[in-house]
Amino acid sequence: MGEFRYRLEKKTPRTGNGGVTRGASVKEFPASVGVAGVSMRLAPGAMRELHWHANAAEWAYVVSGACRTTIVHPDGSAYVDTFNAGDVWYFPRGYGHSIQGIGPGECHFILIFDNGDFSEDHTFSVTDFLARMPAEAVAQNLGLSAAEVATLPKKEVYFAQGPVPDDASNISASRAHPELVAKHRYPLMAQEPRRVPGGGTQRIVTVDDFPISKTMAGSVIELEVGAMRELHWHPNADEWQYFLEGSAEVGVFLAEGKAVIDQYEAGDIGYAPMGSGHYIRNTGKGVCRVLLGFNNGHYQAIDMSEWIAGTPRDVLKTNLGLTGETVEKLPKGTVFLAKGK
């Protein structure tokens, strides 16, 4: 493992009834102090049971397949939504929710949490809650008999395998035309991307587009062969990276003469602390796709090319020790995704 790289998909997973999960918090990935992440897979009908997170909000990106989520708000309102590949969800800290694969194949999604100390193993699950409370209290609360309470699970279920949901029983099925953007769902990959010919594309979702996602923003960048997300930094957030496809080199600059350069492949995660300079360069023979998560609902970036373009030429000449002729070759506008050579 590199200082800012962790081989998430090579980690021994936690498995259960129809589910597989791999997670990395600051405990496993010490550099990732502000963000934690989980890669989870659910078979058709398999459910990540009703649960909540006390110390982090959850932002998710569906890599492949489809799933259904449920969530309850403090005001008692409840939402049921279906997600497909390329969709994003956001669940505020402490809100109870569940996730279920709906087929036809496995559903794979990435969960990103706005707290590096978060651990998927330390969540509050409904079965664990009910199992630890006095049977009399549970019976009174749920209107069940003592015999019926005795049939409830005696410990946390975590993953539960059930049938694929019948859409006819889906609460949201009453909507003839579900909204493209729902309260908890944003179709990120349906968004028209920012394009740089020869460089690639970027799709990004912030609280401005997805109002409930107050503490997190996310992006998918596709880099063409040899292309690079230019030298830049984020003044307001840490950047958590999950490499979806291809291979890349990432450099992170930490000031005081320190920089870390690592090589990444699909399934790896990376991290750039708030304010640290960094880049991502496609080193493979095909497209490199990277999912980026930020622990701030607002996206901010300062790109090297924009800084250079906005600085007087004489300042650049003096600061960089360049001739006037060379200074004139420097960027005069934004580069963002630098083309491969």
Active site residues: 48, 51, 53, 58, 97, 120
How many CB atoms are closer than 10 A to CB 201? 17
Please tell me what DSSP assigns to residue 166. P
Q: Distance between CA atoms of 76 and 212, rounded to whole angstroms? A: 16
Q: Distance between CA atoms of 245 and 87, rounded to whole angstroms? A: 17
How many CB atoms are closer than 10 A to CB 172? 15
* Residue listed under structure tokens 């997600």: 83
Q: In sequence order, what are the residues at sequence separation of 6 or more whose Cβ sits closer than 8 angstroms to the Cβ of residue 106?
A: 41, 42, 43, 44, 64, 65
Sheet strands (E) in 85-216:
88-91, 97-101, 107-113, 124-125, 159-161, 185-186, 194-196, 200-205
CA distances from 75 to 72, 126, 208, 258, 306 (A): 8, 19, 23, 49, 45
Selection from 2, 35, 9 nearest residue 252 by Cα: 2
Decide: 161 and 43 in contact? Cβ < 8 Å: yes
